[in-house]
Copies of this chain bind each other. A is one copy, B any other.
């Protein structure tokens, strides 16, 4: 699904209100605050200051908003994984590319990835999202295992645990990263890559 670029309410289409993109941004922030299950279309219409039928003009259901939002996050992560696959050289270099690229996706699509990472599997859309997340996790674990086979990653930790901890670090951004103050995507990606690959100890 493609969607229009972000615009301010009331600035496009000669229609008071929102386009799909700005509506989606508000919906996702609300889902993150109150939980997807805990947010009704009624809540969303109050938050937007438009009627429910104005919302339905853009999107057929709450579930469709969720689907578009989590797929945007997933598409970003899969694009990075595909890009990483084409990095020449060793698996550890592809893994570093994947880690850095994932940090960039989290920073750029913070609210969308936050929503994705909190999905619990109560609906069909959520289960589909969880299945894609598992596929992504498998790609990471495979890359870690290959890098271990190539002798570049320490063999004394189960690759499954290594990849979980690696993305534990990356995903923690949704809990503490504040876009408007402090570090940018590049600084955070550097920090994650340095700690993950070389650790925090001076040697």
Contacts and interface: CB of A to CB of B under 8 A. Distances in A.
A165 B153 contact: no
Contacts of A187: 161
Contacts of A151: 202
A135 to B, nearest CB: 15
A183 B202 contact: no
B165 A169 contact: yes
B195 A198 contact: no
9 contacts: A35-B37, A144-B200, A153-B201, A157-B190, A157-B191, A157-B195, A158-B191, A167-B172, A168-B172
Contacts of A35: 35, 37-38
Interface residues of A, number: 46
Contact of A197 (B120, B152, B170, B201): B201
A92 B203 CA distance: 13
A9 interface: no
Given A161-B188, A168-B169, A192-B165, A154 B197 contact: no
B164 A168 contact: no
A166 interface: yes
B166 A200 contact: yes
A171 interface: yes
Contacts of A120: 33
A178 to B, nearest CB: 11
Contacts of A161: 183, 187-188, 191
A64 interface: no
Contacts of A201: 92, 152-154, 197-198
A157 B156 CA distance: 26
